[in-house]
Amino acid sequence: MKLLIVMFMLLSSVGILHAHEMTPTYPKLRPSHLDNVYVTTMEMFNKRDDVEFYEIGVFDKDFNPIPFVTSYKVFNLKYLGHVSFDVYIRKDDVSNAEFICSKSKLRKEDTKRTAVNSRICSRIK
């Protein structure tokens, strides 16, 4: 029984080592310090030790890209690193913007024989 519990804990911890998460689920846009530009703040946590880079994207309901500005479209997020970033969207695009997504970027030399791409999309409300 103890062995089973230890194995379960080990397996659980192995799973937790490779996680990608982004919050909030439903971000809200608010007016920024710039005229006709809205902003929202997102947070990410990288528990994937095989991923160091993530790409941010803003999309409409059909996943067509929407113009946006953030500090870095592709940014480096170390293993177990947190990051908080602002996403700026023009007022004209706010009504079309539906999703803010983060996608893992795997380096070619780091990939194994198969690999998993992860993408999390929050919905703007």
Partner 1 sequence: MFKNGILRHAVVSAGFALAVSTTWANAEQVPINGTVQSKCIIMTDSAGVYGNPNAYTLSTAAADGGADAIVRIDVTLADAYKAHITAPTEFSSAPSLPDLPTFAGNTEVQTVSDATGMGTYESGKIEQGMTDIYDLTATGSTWFKTSSTVTMGGSKAFPGGNYTAMVTAECIAK
Task: Assess 117 for contact with partner 1 (CB under 8 A).
Answer: yes
Among the residue ranges 28-36, 71-79, 87-95, 106-114, the one whose residues contact partner 1 (CB under 8 A): 106-114
- Using rule CB under 8 A, residue 20 touches partner 1: yes
Q: How far apart are CA 108 and CA 49, in angstroms?
A: 15
Burial of 10 (0-12, 13-18, 19+ CB in 10 A): exposed
Interface with partner 1 includes 82 (CB under 8 A)? no
Backbone angles phi, psi at 109, to 5 degrees: -75, -15
> Interface with partner 1 by CB under 8 A: which residues?
14-16, 18-26, 47-48, 50, 99, 106, 108, 111-123
